[in-house]
């Protein structure tokens, strides 16, 4: 069982990791994790510089986005995280970034085609494109949920906006965000060199199955 103080340290560190991996600028981006009671989640505060983030500043909200514990205002994307947790019971971690190459794909209203084995491994196919939606209510969360429901991808590009990723916990969602930007960059560069060569669905299935069930150590976050 993870104590609240341990979770605060974890969520603070994972938010700072977004900057370490080059996925965010200034104060943008956020990481959250569902708490063990299943009825609340922890997220970073809004507008605080990453260099100044402290574990004690992490905010606990209920699944309607209402603050339960914390002295600062929660992330401006709190309603989106709350909507995802309410409607995707298997999701326990959510990440949002405006990482450069993934956001570039979102700006041209394009899913990222599955032209790399790393994409097949991690996402089980293309990274899908979700709808345009304004921040502030359930609209973005609804778009994320509708796009990812029934899809193997743990990442979605929201039109003209950025990336949302989901996972079994916050660590897995951060990994998805890192890998999303990595493959977004490589495919964008490849696209400038010629037509992307898409991997066949049958081979995607084989790659995804092997990576999800064979690769790495038992119990590890792949």
Indicate which CATH number applies to the domain containing 169.
Answer: 3.40.225.10
Of 122, 129, 114, give the one whose Cα is nearest residue 161.
Answer: 129
Longest dimension (CA), the chain: 52
Q: Contact at 8 Å (CB) between 57 and 72?
A: yes
CA angle 175, 17, 19 (to 5 degrees): 115
Q: Is residue 222 one of the residues assigned to a domain? A: no
Residue 26 domain flag: yes
Domain ranges, residue 56: 4-213
Q: Is residue 32 part of a domain?
A: yes
Query: What is the predicted pLDDT for the residue at 218?
Result: 78
CB atoms within 10 A of CB 4: 13
pLDDT at residue 162, as a whole number: 98
Q: For position 105, what pLDDT does the model report?
A: 99
* pLDDT reported for residue 113: 98
Residue 33 covered by a domain: yes
How many domains, in total, are found in the chain?
1
Would residue 73 count as lying in a domain? Answer: yes
Q: Is residue 218 included in any domain, yes or no?
A: no
- 43 to 25, 144, 220: CA distances (angstroms): 18, 18, 24
pTM of the model: 0.96
The answer to whether position 128 is within a domain reads yes
With respect to residue 143, please indicate whether it lies within any of the assigned structural domains.
yes
At 222 the pLDDT is 60
The pLDDT, as a whole number, for residue 139 is: 98
Q: Going residue by residue through the chain, which has 222 residues, state the pLDDT in tens, using 9 for 90 and above.
A: 789 999 999 999 999 999 999 999 999 999 999 999 999 999 999 999 999 999 999 999 999 999 999 999 999 999 999 999 999 999 999 999 999 999 999 999 999 999 999 999 999 999 999 999 999 899 999 999 999 999 999 999 999 999 999 999 999 999 999 999 999 999 999 999 999 999 999 999 999 999 999 988 877 656
Cα gap 197→114, rounded to integer Å: 8
How far is 35 from 8, CA to CA, in rounded Å? Answer: 11
Nearest to 178 by CA among 24, 8, 10: 24
Instruction: Tally the residues of the chain.
Output: 222
Pairing of strands 59-62, 155-158: unpaired
Give the pLDDT score at 116: 98
């Amino acid at each position: 069982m993870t104590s609240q103080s341990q979770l605060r340290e974890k969520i603070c560190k994972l938010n700072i990791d977004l900057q370490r991996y080059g996925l965010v600028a200034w104060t943008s981006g956020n990481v959250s994790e569902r708490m063990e009671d299943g009825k609340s989640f922890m997220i970073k505060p809004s507008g605080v510089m990453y260099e100044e983030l402290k574990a004690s500043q992490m905010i606990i909200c209920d699944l309607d986005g209402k603050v339960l514990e914390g002295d600062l205002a929660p992330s401006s994307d709190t309603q989106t995280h709350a909507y995802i947790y309410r409607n995707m019971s298997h999701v326990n971690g959510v990440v949002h970034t405006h990482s450069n190459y993934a956001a570039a794909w979102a700006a041209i209203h394009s899913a990222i085609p599955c032209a790399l084995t790393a994409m097949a491994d991690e996402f089980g196919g293309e990274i899908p494109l979700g709808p345009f939606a304004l921040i502030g209510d359930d609209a973005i969360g609804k778009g994320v949920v509708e796009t990812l429901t029934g899809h193997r991808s743990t990442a979605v590009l929201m039109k003209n906006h950025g990336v949302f990723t989901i996972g079994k916990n916050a660590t897995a969602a951060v990994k998805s965000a890192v890998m999303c930007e990595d493959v977004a960059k490589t495919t964008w560069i490849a696209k400038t060199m010629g037509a992307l060569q898409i991997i066949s669905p049958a081979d995607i299935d084989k790659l995804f199955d092997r990576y999800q069930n064979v690769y790495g150590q038992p119990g590890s976050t792949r």
